[in-house]
Amino acid sequence: MLSFAFFLINRGAMLDRKMMLHLLNSLVFAFTAMGMSFLVGTFLKSRNAISAVSNVIALGPSFISGVFVPQEFLGENVLAIAKVTPTYWYVTANNIISSLSGLSAGPLSTVYQYMIIVGAFGLFFFAAASFAARTQRL
């Protein structure tokens, strides 16, 4: 979200391909975060419970996926566990985007694949939340 705010405030800033890829990656991750929030809100009704679970869901993957500690310093077992979270794929895509020097198709296709993985997590979260909400009504 900060990248969107930066773009809106600094319209004169360089808007190159890297910035557009970062914005797109952030948008896909925001969609996934909304899906996850919808899923948590479907199961939990207490504000305190939602707050506690939200902290665990947000901070847990951040520690093991490379948000707070670069992925190069994390062990292989930690990264293997992190791969089941959308945060890992978001961070990995950001790392690739940041290291792009040209517009070669190889790294770009990998970035797009990772964005699709993050988006698939979002679709799964929305589908699971919709199913859970429908089941709870019955």
Q: What is the rounded end-to-end Cα distance, in angstroms, of the chain?
A: 37
- Taking only the tens place, the pLDDT of each residue in 12-58 is 555 678 888 999 999 999 999 999 999 999 999 899 999 999 999 99
pTM: 0.86
According to the model, what pLDDT value does residue 86 have? 97
